């Protein structure tokens, strides 16, 4: 077994407002009958005490633990215990915190949709967003806006763009739009409904802004419940409730996005409005259920490191959101040693395919490689490469080790050039440190809080993610396939 060489020179270690009015709904053309057999497969809630509503936050500049505890109405000792803080007198900016609210207030227990309906996965095979929006005949069918990369998008294209990027089911997005503004069936929505199609009046107006916020919140509810034990749901009036323990992640996701613009006393009416809109547009949500989003026994295909042999790269971020802070903590960040620190200069080094596959998507810094080769990002294992320039085109078949692009700041938000790599399976953002861990060249991801953690490998010194370039702490090197 060859050991990593010492580098020639090592750098120094850096020390809402009420619900929007809408018209009487109109009936849509019949929705095609789903092909799957209706089977309800709700997943159990997190194994968190039934009187605990856990909420996640981070320490911001000029904050201290006592002030944070007072703001949330909990004790310093409880925050320290749930957040694994040894000394409450010393917390750093960015420190991840778990806020434990004690409450007997539960959200409603009615299931709204299966988990497979929330993610942009196999449940959506055969669903044509454009055809559905056109047939519905509402304002969404005539809407258009400038596309970020040039040209124009129509309403259905905006919905599809958000669905693909966040991996959130378009039927859920359409039902949310219809419940909050009527855009799907009403040809002329009035007032705030026209500017805030998902009713989030405390956020930016416009269809794209509203849908991106909603998709991120849906993901936050879904993955917070499914992967992270985040059981708190905060309502617009400040009330914090615990997600009902009998709920599945898909239902909690909808409850969370609705709660952000709903007072606690109006919760039942808002949930009923969403359910009515969904069933009027699409029928029974559970008729589309295709089973568990990550079936028992699922394993990751063999994957190498995402850079060529005999190069030093640094692990700068542990498990974090695949797209947006709300999504599953599926991603890891790497930066090549040759990249100019602190800049967005495109790196000279190339990121490479970690496994054989087919390039299925290439869009403004993002590359999706489909490992089952069918070119559909909704099925099987899919790898996301983000902040990549000089990307290979859609339809390219790649082998492990083939160059796919160069780290940059392109796509999403980035302060310096790096590679962000994540996994999806059947549309699910697969947690890098979860039950099916991200393993690259034998290095396995670990971490409890977002961006923290690192990589472990048998017979090797563990690597810890940090915003630094320390060969011994977060440097990763390999000699090539054995």
Residues in Cβ contact with 32 at an 8 Å cutoff, skipping those fewer than 6 apart? 126
- From residue 328, alpha-carbon distances to 225, 228, 279, 333, 425 in Å are 10, 9, 28, 15, 12
Q: Is residue 17 part of a domain?
A: no
Looking at the structure, tell me whether residues 92 and 182 fall in a common domain.
Answer: no
Q: Is residue 107 part of a domain?
A: no
Looking at the structure, tell me whether residues 262 and 349 fall in a common domain.
Answer: no
Q: Is residue 160 part of a domain?
A: yes
Q: Is residue 46 part of a domain?
A: no
What's the pLDDT score for residue 46? 59
**What is the DSSP annotation of 378-434?**
TSSEEEEEESEESPPPTT-EE-TT-EEEEEBS-SS--SS-BEEEEEEETTEE--TTS
Looking at the structure, tell me whether residues 123 and 271 fall in a common domain.
Answer: yes
190 SS3 class: coil
Q: Is residue 30 part of a domain?
A: no
> Where in the sequence is the domain holding 461, given as residue range(s)?
313-476
Q: Is 97 exposed, middle or buried (0-12, 13-18, 19+ CB in 10 A)?
A: buried
Looking at the structure, tell me whether residues 282 and 329 fall in a common domain.
Answer: no
Phi first, then psi: give them for residue 175, nearest 5 degrees.
Answer: -65, -40
Q: What is the pLDDT of residues 152-179, one digit of tens each?
A: 999 999 999 999 999 999 999 999 999 9
Question: Cα–Cα distance between 332 and 480 in angstroms, integer?
Answer: 20
Question: Cα–Cα distance between 92 and 90 in angstroms, integer?
Answer: 7
Please state whether the predicted TM-score (pTM) of the whole model is above 0.85: yes
Residue 188: strand pairing partners: none
Assign 48 a pLDDT band (cuts: 50, 70, 90): low
Looking at the structure, tell me whether residues 154 and 283 fall in a common domain.
Answer: yes
What's the pLDDT score for residue 63? 84
What's the token pair of residue 122? Answer: 């196999």
Q: What is the pLDDT of residues 265-287, one digit of tens each?
A: 999 999 999 999 999 999 999 99
Looking at the structure, tell me whether residues 215 and 329 fall in a common domain.
Answer: no
Looking at the structure, tell me whether residues 213 and 334 fall in a common domain.
Answer: no
Q: 292, 453 in Cβ contact below 8 A?
A: no
Looking at the structure, tell me whether residues 372 and 336 fall in a common domain.
Answer: yes
Q: What is the CATH number of the domain that holds 84?
A: 3.10.350.10
Q: Is residue 420 part of a domain?
A: yes
Name the domain boundary from 255, 272, 288: 288
What's the pLDDT score for residue 392? 96
Looking at the structure, tell me whether residues 193 and 284 fall in a common domain.
Answer: yes
Q: What is the CATH number of the domain that holds 457?
A: 2.70.70.10
Q: Which candidate, 446, 414, 113, places its Cα nearest to that of 281?
A: 113
Q: For 446, which DSSP code?
A: E
What's the pLDDT score for residue 64? 81
**CB burial string 69-84: b at 16+ within 10 A, e below:** beebebebebbbebbe
Quote the number of domains for the chain.
3
Looking at the structure, tell me whether residues 150 and 129 fall in a common domain.
Answer: yes
Q: Find where tokens 């697969």 sit.
A: 430
First to last CA, the chain: 9
Looking at the structure, tell me whether residues 438 and 325 fall in a common domain.
Answer: yes
Number of Cβ within 10 Å of residue 266's Cβ equals: 18
Looking at the structure, tell me whether residues 183 and 98 fall in a common domain.
Answer: no
Question: Cα–Cα distance between 305 and 473 in angstroms, integer?
Answer: 17
């Amino acid at each position: 077994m060859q050991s990593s060489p010492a580098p020639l020179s090592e750098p120094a270690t850096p020390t809402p407002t009420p619900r929007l009015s809408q018209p009487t709904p109109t009936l849509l053309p019949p929705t095609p009958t789903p092909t799957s057999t209706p089977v309800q497969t709700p997943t159990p809630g997190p194994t968190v005490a039934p009187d605990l509503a856990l909420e996640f936050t981070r320490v911001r500049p000029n904050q201290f633990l006592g002030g944070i505890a007072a703001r949330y109405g909990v004790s310093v000792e409880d925050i320290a215990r749930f957040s694994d803080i040894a000394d409450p007198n010393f917390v750093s900016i960015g420190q991840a915190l778990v806020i434990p609210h004690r409450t007997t207030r539960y959200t409603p227990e009615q299931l709204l949709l299966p988990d497979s309906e929330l993610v942009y996965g196999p449940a959506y095979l055969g669903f044509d967003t454009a055809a559905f929006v056109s047939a519905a005949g509402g304002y969404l069918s005539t809407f258009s806006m400038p596309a970020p990369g040039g040209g124009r998008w129509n309403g259905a294209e905006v919905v599809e763009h958000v669905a693909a990027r966040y991996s959130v089911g378009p039927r859920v997005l359409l039902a949310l739009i219809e419940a909050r503004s009527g855009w799907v069936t009403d040809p002329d929505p009035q007032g705030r409904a026209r500017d805030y199609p998902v009713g989030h009046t405390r956020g930016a107006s416009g269809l794209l802004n509203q849908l991106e916020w909603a998709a991120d919140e849906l993901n936050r509810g879904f993955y917070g419940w499914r992967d992270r034990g985040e059981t708190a749901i905060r309502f617009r009036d400040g009330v914090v409730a615990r997600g009902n323990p009998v709920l599945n992640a898909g239902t909690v996701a909808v409850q969370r996005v609705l709660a952000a613009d709903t007072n606690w006393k109006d919760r039942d009416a808002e949930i009923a409005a969403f359910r009515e809109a969904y069933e009027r547009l699409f029928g029974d949500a559970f008729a589309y259920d295709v089973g568990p989003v990550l079936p028992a026994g699922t394993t990751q295909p063999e994957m190498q490191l995402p850079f060529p042999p005999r190069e030093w790269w640094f692990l700068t971020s542990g498990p974090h959101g695949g797209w947006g802070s709300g999504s599953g903590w599926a991603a890891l960040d790497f930066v090549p040693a040759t990249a100019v620190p602190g800049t967005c200069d495109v790196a000279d080094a190339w990121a490479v395919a970690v496994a054989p596959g087919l390039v299925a998507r290439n869009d403004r810094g993002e590359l999706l490689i489909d490992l089952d080769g069918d070119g559909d990002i909704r099925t099987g294992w899919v790898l996301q490469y983000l902040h990549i320039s000089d990307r290979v085109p859609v339809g390219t078949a790649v082998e492990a080790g083939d160059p796919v692009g160069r780290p940059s700041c392109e796509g999403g938000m980035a302060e310096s050039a790096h590679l962000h790599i994540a996994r999806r399976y059947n549309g699910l953002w697969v947690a890098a440190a979860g039950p099916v861990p991200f393993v690259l060249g034998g290095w396995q991801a670990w971490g409890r809080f977002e961006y923290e953690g690192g990589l472990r490998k048998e017979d090797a010194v563990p690597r810890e993610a940090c915003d630094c370039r320390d060969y011994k702490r977060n440097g990763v090197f390999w000699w090539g396939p054995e």
